[in-house]
Amino acid sequence: MIPRYSRPEMTAIWSEQAKFERWLEVEIAVCEARAAAGDMPIEAAALIRANATFDVDKVNEYITITHHDMTAFLQSVADSLGEESRFVHFGLTTSDVWDTATALQLRNASDLLIEGTEGLISALEQLSRTHRNTLCPGRTHGVHAEPTTFGLKVAVWVAEMRRNRERLQAARETIAVGAISGAVGTHASIPPAIEEITCHALGLGVEHASTQVIQRDRHAQFVSTLALTGASLEKFATEIRGLQRTEVLEAEEPFAAGQTGSSAMPHKRNPEKCERITGLARLLRGYANTAMENVALWHERDISHSSTERIVFPDACLVLDYMLALFTDITEGLVVYPERMRENLDRSYGLVFSQRVLLELIETGISRQEAYDLVKRNAMTAWREQKPFLSLLLNDADVASRLGEEQLRALFDYEYYLRNADSTFERLGLA
């Protein structure tokens, strides 16, 4: 991922140095497991633990000769050892090391992503509490429906991000498995006991049945979970973008003192951060599609997945890590305009109270269809002639014969829509 969208901690997990460090960690763990099982000298395992290292530049130099990452890496490791180097990678295949080491990287990346998710949840919870009673138009199809509160709108985001946290935790468990099963996964050259000891030492689960690779449905689940989390962030960002439109202007993403929105128009305050979230979510969905394509490999393995995973795994983790941090900043700095929300509510001539009038008319004993027609004809007149809905109802003889003036006026009360809002906050533990 380009530096613009990469944060240091996640970048460090996916550096070439870190990748080879994880490879070496796996190789050493296998040697120590074999030594514990009596398959190699304990002294040799101790020397490997103490002295084994590699040089990234040398690895890359060897790759120009071998055209193979693992043999180049092993040559560099052998350069740091004596004759005990013959025990390194004994009975293993490239995927044993690569896939197990990748599981370590993905596990560590998951921890950062879960941490980022928790930070965002905390920020959303605070925003939701602050605006639990801030009335705003509820919109369906982009049109005023009934009043809601901005806090309830954000409470939906809180619940969704909590689900994303659970999904990330589940994906972490799914991906954090190793396989030390040798060529085509038969354990012919490396016993299952060594695999179990190694994975336990590394803090990983064991792939109960592998071929020459850990099965890619695990990785597809992981990347798809990242994409789904990104889709949620896009959903939230899209809402803010809509609310920041000039003619709406109910909320606005942070805009720093020296920030500029346009090279041509000095007045512009664009929702560029939220638009960035939207664009990056598209990348994640593309990565998820690639991860799905990687599930079907030929027979016990091929390497059609390898080239894409070198890009997809680091980039997907880096992108979501960045998106979580960015949207947390947006949430914490979001500017909310309650007065504008109320002003916008009033702009639809009181039509947001149409269902209350409908239900009250039904309570008088007429059919739902008759009540609906009475309300609709006045509502359409209010839209067309830009007249107050209440005034039209008060002057409609058919309505007035069933609902008195005081009764009608009482229906046009915004506070009515707050009467059960607390239940949502109580369910979420935000009361």
Same domain as 279, residue 373: no
C-alpha–C-alpha distance, residues 66 and 10, integer Å: 30
Task: Tell whether 228 and 376 lie within a shared domain.
Answer: no
Average pLDDT, whole number, for the chain? 96
- What is the share, in percent, of the chain residues with pLDDT greater than 90? 95
What is the DSSP annotation of 66-114? Answer: H--HHHHHHHHHHHT-SGGGGGTTTT--HHHHHHHHHHHHHHHHHHHHH
Q: Is 299 exposed, middle or buried (0-12, 13-18, 19+ CB in 10 A)?
A: exposed
DSSP state of 404: -
For residues 320 and 363, membership in a common domain is answered with no
Q: What is d(CA 142, CA 238) in angstroms, rounded to the nearest whole number?
A: 12
Question: Quick one: 365 and 239 in the same domain?
Answer: no
CB 35 within 8 A of CB 42: yes
Of 291, 314, 342, the last residue of a domain is 342
Residue 393 and residue 276 share a domain: no
Question: Would you state the torsion angle of the CA atoms of residues 163, 164, 165, 171, taken in this order, to the nearest 10 degrees?
Answer: 110
Does residue 427 lie in a domain region? no
Return the DSSP state at 136: E
**CATH code for the domain in which residue 397 is found:** 1.10.40.30
Residue 429 within any structural domain of the chain: no
Q: Is 17 inside any structural domain?
A: yes
pLDDT digits (tens, 9 = 90+) for 74-112: 999 999 999 999 999 999 999 999 999 999 999 999 999
Q: Looking at the structure, do residues 291 and 397 belong to the same domain, yes or no? A: no
* Model confidence at 304: pLDDT above 90: no
Q: How confident is the model at residue 302 (pLDDT cuts 50, 70, 90)?
A: confident
Give the integer Cα–Cα distance in Å for 327 and 332: 8
The region that residue 377 occupies, defined by phi over 0 for left and psi between -120 and 50 for alpha, beta otherwise, is: alpha
- pLDDT of residue 204 exceeding 90, the answer is yes
Q: Give phi and psi for 147, each to the nearest 5.
A: -65, 145
Closest CA relative to residue 386, chosen from 352, 356, 351: 351
Contact by Cβ (8 Å): 374, 291: no
Instruction: Please check whether residue 59 lies inside any domain of the structure.
Output: yes
Tokens of 241: 């973008």
pTM: 0.95
Q: In Å, how far are 236, 249, 302 from 328, measured between CA atoms? A: 11, 21, 40
Residue appearing with tokens 């890619």: 216
Same domain, residue pair 27 and 103: yes
In a domain, 258, yes or no: no
Residues 246-294 pLDDT 10s: 999 999 999 988 999 888 998 999 999 999 999 999 999 999 999 999 9
Residues 177 and 71 occupy one common structural domain? yes
**pLDDT value, residue 226:** 98
Q: Decide if pLDDT at 201 tops 90.
A: yes
CB contact set of 57 (below 8 Å; sequence gap of 6+): none
Q: Assess if residue 424 is contained within a domain.
A: no
Ordered DSSP codes for 44-67? HHHHHHHH----HHHHHHHHHHH-
> Residue 373's pLDDT band (boundaries 50, 70, 90)?
very high
* Residue 195 and residue 93 share a domain: yes
Q: What is the pLDDT of residue 407?
A: 96
**Same domain for 379 and 284:** no
Query: In the chain, what are the helix, strand and coil shares in percent, each to the nearest 5?
Result: 65, 5, 30
**Band (139; pLDDT cuts 50, 70, 90):** very high
Domain that holds residue 388: 351-411
DSSP letter at 132 equals T
Judge contact between 87 and 45, C-beta under 8 A.
Answer: yes
* Nearest in space to 338 (alpha carbons), one of 101, 153, 158: 153
Helix (H) or strand (E) holding 178: strand 177-178
Looking at the fold, whether 243 and 304 belong to one and the same domain comes out as yes
pLDDT above 90 (res 431):
no
Please give the tally of structural domains in the chain: 2
Taking residues 390-394, report their average pLDDT: 97
Q: Report the CATH number at residue 226.
A: 1.20.200.10
- Sign of the CA dihedral running 223, 228, 231, 233: negative
The reply to whether 416 falls in a domain is: no
| Residue 394, burial from CB neighbour count under 10 angstroms (0-12, 13-18, 19+) | middle
Q: Give helix 16-36 / helix 192-202 axis angle, nearest 10°.
A: 130
Catalytic residue numbers, as ranges: 141, 262
Q: Is residue 338 located within the same domain as residue 390?
A: no
Is 417 among the domain residues? Answer: no
Helix axes 69-79, 16-36, angle to 10 degrees: 70
Q: What are phi and psi of 302, to 5 degrees?
A: -140, -170
How confident is the model at residue 301, as a pLDDT? Answer: 87
Number of helices followed by number of strands (H, E) in the chain: 18, 6
